[in-house]
Structure 1
């Protein structure tokens, strides 16, 4: 407080220059006349506030407005408080940067593990996509329950008709989880995160495979093509949604259609029920069962969905696939957060402190 008092007093001389200068008048006393003429008075200027007979905020002829003085006091105190809190702000910023780096490094390792697992078993890709979608589609908009919470891992939910054939995908993720947890410094990865990032890796693998095919099967050229024309940078928002919580029990039955047997109207109704329309239904066709071509053959019969299906089919024939890839990434990102409160400090851990006194120099 002593420092703040000194700082405020140091601003006082500058306040005098803010006072309105009176117009020279012979009837004024010499001090006032010298002020008006621009000469320094023989004594320091005094701060005078309005008298009780004047309106609030209006000063006497040679004084300050009260609000001007109060503003200056407030500004000075505010600046002092900001200056004194600088070290705390720097410490908080440093802590945030450390956590961001920890999460980024951990996520990068997770992606490497998943990419390796999928590359060794490419036939599992359709099941991983459907697994992620079915975990998402238990979301109920009315009750804000369900969603991508990893509940599909429970055997009673995995054994439901709509999840038939997905146990191999869960087994692959169980093995990947063991490896990921072995090198995690911030606790085990949640199944809800694992399932969604496995879907991301599966999607990326399909785009990379398409680029390799366009290069005549040359993997090196395909990777170069995808790096140059792909939309990998669009995953930024998806990557930030890292910190989902796992459900402790299976989600209610009857919320997810059996995609390969569902009618077109059932599909539209389900997507509408979670806040999405024909465009999102069309772009997620690869997630709707094991056969994307069969799914799109059904979707194209609907006048609302057909234009989008055709748009994405044309986009997949281009070198960049931009329209299809960007919309797919955007839709999956939105779906993968339904009903979830993301913990942005998940998987972080305290940095070990170094005791300088114990260092041998």
Structure 2
């Protein structure tokens, strides 16, 4: 499989990143209903990473992977990002999608996530790494996240992103909101998870699986009780996920 070349990050590129960030923020602040699917775009582009094979990850290839059933609905987010790409053409798709995910968390009230630019776009190809199936069991969840090089805390805290958005029958087989306020990033996912089934709210089998293991359940309890801790850990794990397989290039001295 061909490897993407490192992307040069110079002053002009950083200027375009800054412009793209402002553009995405303005778009999402005026259209918050797109924030959940944009965040899903960032997750799914990164989520194909294989830590052992060093393949997949946040490389922009998801735009070539829309035939994957796990990516049903993602085209909405890709189309949302296209005007930003047209306005700031030097920004790679890989950076654009991860930047959009970071901003989606921010504008819905979540933590500020540090963003480092320079992800190269993969050649025209499809990544083969499996994505989480909402009907999966605990073993499935761990298999997927461990393959990515993530750990148990990452599994739980990143699952907290389900506080945003709703389930769609044609995407996950489920239908309904995942939290009482689908456009607010907070710790309600964990609060609701501890309460068991809630009328009107969707809880995936993969969500419920977090309560089956004492290690994972402990993190659920921590985040349900303390939103500040959740935000701090989430920012760390989201950044980690968004940089899987990415080694930030050094900015040229004369940039």
Report TM bin, short chain: 0.7 to 0.9
Structure 1 unpaired stretches of 5+: 1-98, 182-187, 209-230, 351-361
Structure scoring higher RCO (CA < 8 A, sep ≥ 6) equals 2
Equivalent residue in structure 2 for 1:341, among 243, 247, 252? 247
**Which residue of structure 2 aligns with residue 220 of structure 1?**
none
* Offset at residue 245 of structure 1 (A): 0.4
Rounded Cα–Cα distance in structure 1 between residues aligned with 2:125 and 2:13: 28
* Offset at residue 310 of structure 1 (A): 1.9
**Which residue of structure 1 aligns with residue 214 of structure 2?**
303
CA deviation digits over 1:80-100, x for unaligned, max 9? xxxxxxxxxxxxxxxxxxx87
Change (3 A) 1:264 1:125: farther
Rounded Cα–Cα distance in structure 2 between residues aligned with 1:263 and 1:164: 21
TM-score, with length taken from structure 1: 0.53
* Offset at residue 254 of structure 1 (A): 4.9
Change (3 A) 1:252 1:178: closer
**Which residue of structure 2 aligns with residue 261 of structure 1?**
135
1:143 partnered with 2:18: no
- Indicate if the aligned counterparts of 2:42 and 2:101 stay in contact, CA closer than 8 A: yes
CA deviation digits over 1:241-265, x for unaligned, max 9? 211100112334352223x222232
1:131 partnered with 2:5: no
**Which residue of structure 2 aligns with residue 73 of structure 1?**
none
Equivalent residue in structure 1 for 2:87, among 160, 179, 187? 179
SS of alignment partner, residue 196 of structure 1: helix
Equivalent residue in structure 2 for 1:162, among 70, 80, 85? 70
Count of residue pairs the alignment pairs up: 210
Rounded Cα–Cα distance in structure 1 between residues aligned with 2:233 and 2:241: 12
**Aligned positions of 1:272-351 closer than 5 A:** 272-287=146-161, 290=166, 291=178, 293=189, 294-295=203-204, 296-316=207-227, 321=228, 323-345=229-251
* Offset at residue 324 of structure 1 (A): 1.2
Equivalent residue in structure 2 for 1:206, among 108, 124, 142? 108
* Offset at residue 330 of structure 1 (A): 0.7
**Which residue of structure 1 aligns with residue 5 of structure 2?**
none
Change (3 A) 1:123 1:298: farther
- Indicate if the aligned counterparts of 2:50 and 2:129 stay in contact, CA closer than 8 A: no
Rounded Cα–Cα distance in structure 2 between residues aligned with 1:286 and 1:159: 27
**Which residue of structure 2 aligns with residue 242 of structure 1?**
117
Rounded Cα–Cα distance in structure 2 between residues aligned with 1:164 and 1:345: 37
Structure 2 unpaired stretches of 5+: 1-8, 167-177, 180-188, 190-202
**Aligned positions of 1:64-79 closer than 5 A:** none
CA deviation digits over 1:157-214, x for unaligned, max 9? 1221111111111110112211223xxxxxx110100010001001111226xxxxxx
Rounded Cα–Cα distance in structure 1 between residues aligned with 2:231 and 2:12: 28
**Which residue of structure 1 aligns with residue 186 of structure 2?**
none
The structure that is helix-richer by fraction is 1
Q: Which of 1 and 2 has greater Rg?
A: 1
TM-score, with length taken from structure 2: 0.73
**Which residue of structure 2 aligns with residue 40 of structure 1?**
none
